[in-house]
Amino acid sequence: MTKDRVVPARMARAPRAMTRRTVVRNAAVALAMLAGGLAAASRGALAQVVRVSKAVAQYQGHPNNGQRCGLCAHYRFPFGCARVRGFVSLHGWCTLYTPRG
Ligand code: SF4
């Protein structure tokens, strides 16, 4: 005596094989994500590499006509700068000043 087993429809279907199109599409997405990650990483690394000395940037410890590090896009709280090496004051200024957008 055998019992008939009822198999749900979703289990009866065989798993779909990956088509060439699916493989190519997934590879393209993975490459795009990798390229984006590398680009972001290299931008960050480049920002570290291109930091210059205070002398080169003509840094001064006081504002210049209302422009100051605290209002600059390169300023990194509390005492850093993405473009100039070393201690940078919130109230300093240099020729690389770029207003925050
Ligand atoms: S003004 Fe110069 S030193 Fe100050 S945060 Fe901007 S780039 Fe850096």
- Separation of alpha carbons 25 and 30, rounded Å: 9
Pocket of ligand 1 (CB under 6 A): 57, 59, 69, 72, 74-75, 81, 83-84, 88, 92-94, 96-97
Centre of ligand 1 from the C-alpha of residue 42, in Å? 21
Amino acid found at 49: V
The pLDDT of residue 7: 63
CATH of domain 52-101: 4.10.490.10
What does pLDDT average to in each consecutive run of 10 residues of the chain (101 residues)?
64 68 78 70 60 97 98 97 97 98 89
Centre of ligand 1 from the C-alpha of residue 80, in Å? 9
Burial of 81 from C-beta contacts in 10 A (0-12 / 13-18 / 19+)? buried
The pLDDT of residue 2: 55
Q: Domains of the chain: which residue ranges?
A: 17-49, 52-101
The pLDDT of residue 22: 76
Residue having the nearest C-alpha atom to atom 6 of ligand 1: 97
The pLDDT of residue 76: 97
User: What is the position in ligand 1's atom list of the atom closest to the CA of 57?
Assistant: 2
